[in-house]
């Protein structure tokens, strides 16, 4: 990733302003102290793989926490997570109280014995990651941002170490936390599911691109995924009516397409997975979830669905006007799509899946040329549409902005590996003073 595009990703001023607003909205004044403390401790330091000020990294991790709607204490942990390790600051000196200090301590790699090997220290560190859910969440976001900056910056050996570590040590900590910290896990179950999917979406393609053995693509059980989502949709209002009426019907339709999944077509499974992802992120809109479930399928009779669902599905498809060339069609389509939040979110989720798993050898693999075209279209049209759309999308704003980060981390990493030249993009990422 070029330095200019890194500057676009790390819009320092905007994210710092957003963090201050988040802390004030939650009346968590210690968070403002944590922000100033982190800036002071990291002053003059830069990232190893770029010329960015080091503070950009904790600022980004903390900002992603706000987009996930996490408690302000977790945001403060994200801001401070590298301070003790990089500056030898004592944990008791950290602002924010005991919860913040405990979280940062769990995120700090420390030797127990002077002669302890680095491998043993890391194994013990990740082996205890499940003991503090706050720290586990921050570590997953920390690793997500680090994975996306490795290509063209680290050796293949270092890249392989990080990928295997993520797959074999970090992600398994989520499963352990379900057993070891049951109450805390239930409280953060949705965000952990979201972060699992996002982290795999970067880690697995990197493993495939670099030919790293030992990382296998997560295989989802369609029956189990369906049952999980079905349980989330069985919610009734005070009158006994289903709140998710359209989505429940759409889930049945998607599940009827399961034979396509069994024959090698992933669309039925991925539509269910992405709908679950959106609900876990906090989307509580019947039309949107139904659109996500139906929009990726083919030959579906939509006559039984509401007008809102049918309209949203209509905006998912790019249809040229008479005499319109391809570029003009894309400009018009994505400009119109930015005004339809349900279809915009569905399109963003489908594109995320296409780019991430387009590297897989099999039914959903695509050629290098197709991948390049997909990435350039996403970069030049979809991301700007999402930037515009998030400003008018109300409760959808956070997930659209979060998905902008996830998409860019994914496709810019793949583009760097495949030497796909990406132009400077327009939008709020251009306003940087780092």
The whole-number pLDDT of residue 4 equals 54
Give the least confident one: 149-153, 259-263, 347-351: 259-263
User: Structure tokens of 253?
Assistant: 């339709």
**Is residue 264's pLDDT more than 80?**
no
How much is the pLDDT for 52? 76
Q: Who wins on pLDDT, 410 or 236? A: 410
Other C-beta atoms lying within 10 Å of the C-beta of residue 161:
14
Q: Output the pLDDT for position 296.
A: 85
Please tell me the predicted confidence (pLDDT) of residue 426: 47
Residue 51: Cβ-neighbour burial (10 angstroms; 0-12, 13-18, 19+): exposed
Which residues fall within 8 angstroms of residue 328, CB to CB, at 6 or more apart?
none
State yes or no: pLDDT of 429 exceeds 60.
Answer: no
Model confidence pLDDT, tens digit, residues 303-345: 999 999 999 999 998 888 888 899 999 999 999 999 999 999 9
Cα dihedral 182, 186, 192, 193 in deg (nearest 10): 110
| DSSP H/E element including 158 | helix 156-165
pLDDT at 37 over 60: yes
Phi, psi at 236, each rounded to 5°? -120, 155
**Does an H or E element contain 326, and which?**
helix 326-337
In angstroms, what is the C-alpha Rg of the chain? 22
Q: Sign of the C-alpha dihedral, residues 89, 91, 97, 99?
A: positive
Average confidence (pLDDT) over 293-303: 89
Mean pLDDT of the chain, nearest integer: 86
Residue 59 pLDDT class (50, 70, 90 cuts):
very high
Residue 431 has pLDDT above 70, yes or no: no
pLDDT tens string 351-409:
998 888 765 544 456 788 888 999 999 999 999 999 999 988 888 999 999 999 999 98
Which residues on neighbouring strands pair with residue 236, listed in sequence order? 242
The mean per-residue pLDDT over the stretch 231-242 comes to 72
pLDDT of residue 9: 62
Q: Are 365 and 424 in contact (CB under 8 A)?
A: no
- When pLDDT is averaged across residues 26-42 and rounded to a whole number, the result is 95
DSSP for 183-232, please give it.
HHHHHTHHHHHHHHHHHHHHHHHHHHHTT-TT--PPPP-HHHHHHHHHHH
Mean pLDDT of 49-62: 84
Predicted local confidence at residue 430, as pLDDT: 38
Which carries the bigger pLDDT value, residue 335 or residue 243? Answer: 335
User: Mean of the pLDDT values across residues 142-161?
Assistant: 87
Is the backbone of residue 299 left (phi > 0), alpha (psi -120 to 50) or beta? Answer: left
**What pLDDT score does 241 carry?**
63
The answer for residues whose C-beta is within 8 angstroms of residue 365's C-beta and 6 or more apart is 358, 359
Query: For residues 81 and 97, is the Cβ–Cβ distance under 8 A?
Result: no
DSSP reduced 3-state for 356: helix
Q: Rounded to whole angstroms, how far apart are CA atoms 134 and 124? A: 18
Span of 1-15, 125-139, 166-180 with lowest mean pLDDT: 1-15
What pLDDT, on the 0 to 100 scale, is given for residue 260? Answer: 64
Least confident stretch, 42-51, 63-72, 168-177, 418-427 = 418-427
pLDDT at 366: 76
**46 phi and psi, to 5 degrees?**
-125, 160
Say which residues have a Cβ less than 8 Å from residue 113's Cβ, sequence separation at least 6.
Answer: none
Determine the distance from the C-alpha atom of residue 386 to the mean position of all C-alpha atoms in its chain, rounded to a whole number.
15
Counting residues of the chain whose pLDDT is more than 70, the rounded percentage is 89
pLDDT of residue 433: 35
Asked if 244 and 235 touch (Cβ cutoff 8 Å), the reply is yes
Mean pLDDT of 291-307: 91
pLDDT(231) > 60: yes
Secondary structure class of 46 (helix, strand, coil): strand
CA distances for 181 relative to 62, 67, 136, 393, angstroms: 23, 24, 12, 36
Instruction: Give me the pLDDT at residue 22, please.
Output: 97
Q: Six-digit token pair at 189?
A: 């179950």
Total residue length of the chain: 434
Distance CA 92, CA 89 (A): 9
Contact 175, 326 (CB under 8 A): no
Rounded to a whole number of angstroms, the distance between the first and last alpha carbons of the chain is 17
Highest mean pLDDT among 67-76, 211-220, 394-403: 67-76
Mean pLDDT computed over 413-423: 86
Residue 345, CB-side half-sphere exposure with 13 Å CA sphere:
33
**Cross-strand pairs, 242:** 236
């Amino acid at each position: 990733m070029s330095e200019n595009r890194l500057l676009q990703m790390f819009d320092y001023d905007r994210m710092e302003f957003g963090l201050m607003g988040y802390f004030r909205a939650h009346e968590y004044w210690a968070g403002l102290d944590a922000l100033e403390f982190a800036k002071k401790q990291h002053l003059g330091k830069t990232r190893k793989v770029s010329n960015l000020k080091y503070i950009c990294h904790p600022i980004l991790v903390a900002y992603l926490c706000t987009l996930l709607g996490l408690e302000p204490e977790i945001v403060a942990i994200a801001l401070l997570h590298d301070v003790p390790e990089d500056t030898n600051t004592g944990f008791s000196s950290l602002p924010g109280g005991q919860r913040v200090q405990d979280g940062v301590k769990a995120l700090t790699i420390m030797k127990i014995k002077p002669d302890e090997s680095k491998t043993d220290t890391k194994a013990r560190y990740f082996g205890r990651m499940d003991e503090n859910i706050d720290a586990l969440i921050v570590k997953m976001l920390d690793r997500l941002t680090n994975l996306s900056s490795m290509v063209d910056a680290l050796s293949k050996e270092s890249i392989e170490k990080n990928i295997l570590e993520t797959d074999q040590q970090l992600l398994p900590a989520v499963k352990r936390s379900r057993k070891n910290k049951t109450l805390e896990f239930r409280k953060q179950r949705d965000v952990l599911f979201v972060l699992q999917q996002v982290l795999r979406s970067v880690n697995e393609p990197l493993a495939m691109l670099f030919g790293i053995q030992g990382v296998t693509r997560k295989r989802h059980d369609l029956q189990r995924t369906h049952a999980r989502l079905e349980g989330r949709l069985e919610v009734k209002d005070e009158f006994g009516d289903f709140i998710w009426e359209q989505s429940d019907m759409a889930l049945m339709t998607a599940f009827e397409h399961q034979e396509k999944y069994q024959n090698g077509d992933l669309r039925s499974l991925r539509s269910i997975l992405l709908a679950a992802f959106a609900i876990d992120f906090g989307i509580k809109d019947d039309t949107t979830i139904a659109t996500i479930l139906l929009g990726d399928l083919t030959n579906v009779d939509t006559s039984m669905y509401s007008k809102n669902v049918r309209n949203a599905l209509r905006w998912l498809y790019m249809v040229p006007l008479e005499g319109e060339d391809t570029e003009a069609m894309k400009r018009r389509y994505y400009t119109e799509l930015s005004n339809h939040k349900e279809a915009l979110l569905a399109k963003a989720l489908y594109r995320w899946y296409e780019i991430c798993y387009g590297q897989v050898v099999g039914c959903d693999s695509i050629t290098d040329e197709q991948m390049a075209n997909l990435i350039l279209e996403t970069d030049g049209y979809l991301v700007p549409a999402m930037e515009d759309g998030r400003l008018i999308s109300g409760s959808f704003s956070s997930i659209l902005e979060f998905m902008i980060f996830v998409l860019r981390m994914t496709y810019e990493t793949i583009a760097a590996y495949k030497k796909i030249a990406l132009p400077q993009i327009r939008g709020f990422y251009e306003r940087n003073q780092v």
